[in-house]
Amino acid sequence: MSLQGVEELVLDLENIGAIKFGEFKLKSGLMSPVYFDLRVIVSHPKILDSVAQIMLDQIKEVQSNESLLCGVPYTALPIASIMSVKGNLGMVVRRKEAKDYGTKKMVEGTWTSGQDCIIVEDVITSGGSVKETAQLLREHDMKVTTCVVLLDREQGGKQNLINDGINVISIFPISKVLDTLVKHKKINSATVEAVQAFINNNQTTNSTNGVAKSEKHPENMSFQARSEMNVNPVTRRLLDVMLRKQSNLCVAIDKTKSSQVLELVKKVGKSVAVVKLHSDIIEDWSSAVQEELTSLSKELDFMLFEDRKLADIGNTVKHQTSSICGWADLLTVHGLPGPGLLQGVQAACADAGRQIGVLLVAEMSNAGNLFNKDYTKAVVGLGEGKGMEELVVGFIAQSRVSQRAGMLQMTPGVHLADSSDSGDQRYTSPGQAVLEKGADLVIAGRGICADTNPETKAEEYRQKAWDAYLQRIK
């Protein structure tokens, strides 16, 4: 739609009373000098059709033929319905409350696991209704990364949704509405000043622990930007390695003899950012093996990751870590014992005079694991807690569990060929891990190490994972 067409639509909305000026009590209890009553557009079919068309036009670059639409109940439902018909896009309907009979569903329609769903909304203030809708759709295994909204009150809702991983496409920011109405002498400068003062004084942007969230969702930020803003020296070093080598690949080498481990490290080292080991399963583990691994990590420019998954009281973890932080750069721990465990790691690092980066296990890739959403949330809260900024690098997870740009996500269970092994391991591809699951680094093991040519296979995994990262930040 042309600029003239956009202005005409704003004037049409003002003419039918969808945009009002005066004194209006909002749901929050605040008195606002402006009110948007977009429910009235259902009585004006031509305007409703124009609204649906302009919103449909704005999502063409982000939608696919498989994308679904979901209107936030209730005002956006007719808009989404017309967009669905015009764009030949499937639609799902979110209920505000479940029926107490029949299927008792909260979401009506059909979809496939991981299918993209674009949320349609009429007005956003804090973005709360969109966020609730996104959470429900995600719980039903849909992917939600985009919301198209007719009118943005510019009170922080857009930023809040970006922080939640939802890109917002707004047709009319309130500033554009005011400019148009002033231009056509529908309101005066005093009204504009009153509205602008209300907007400026009633921002809703969220923060966590007093620290403002990143202006961009971490998945959309470059590793360079995230390195520059990071306070954790281990995280910065890891990101710098990833940028130098253009690699977000971690290879898991689960061999029981040091000769096997070292042979594989020499073959895959040039393609990886991280080598992950279980030193406690290596039968002939020794200080000489540690020294050779450390030498190779410097020569081939990668970091060493001990996947020990410690889970004990702080004092015990301190002793366990003391034998690890002399050579490893990264270490996994479970969050179950609580903050005392992290304090034990910190104490061991202080005694050794060498910093190690902690990765908390928030989710696992194997079938039948006992992790649940409440536990994952608690683990993330532990890692993001005060004083943990220079210790915790991020999380082992199957989905984006933290919205902090400083926290990295490493996703295990990555394989190009298989969806599962003969046991309980479930696999995903490098592209899926990065683009759909939010991985910053992918962890691949047998898909590389069991190949007859691990050197070539590691390079293939590196290229696919890095290409997915480049696609993501675009």
> What amino acid positions are annotated as catalytic residues?
309, 312
In sequence order, the β-bridge partners of residue 249 are 442
Paired with 250 in beta bridges are 274, 443
- The rounded Cα 53 to chain-centroid distance in angstroms is 29
The enclosing H or E element of 225 equals helix 223-228
The answer to whether residues 363 and 375 touch, using CB atoms and an 8 Å cutoff, is: no
CA dihedral 238, 242, 247, 248 (to 10 degrees): 50
CB 432 within 8 A of CB 376: no
C-alpha to C-alpha distance for 378 and 89, rounded to whole angstroms: 38
Q: How far apart are CA 243 and CA 298, in angstroms?
A: 16
Inter-axis angle of helices 45-58 and 76-87, to 10 degrees?
A: 70
Is the bond leading into 74 cis (omega within 30 degrees of zero)? yes
Are the beta carbons of 354 and 330 closer than 8 angstroms?
Answer: no
Distance, CA of 71 to CA of 273 (rounded, Å)? 42
- To which residue do tokens 């979809």 refer? 111
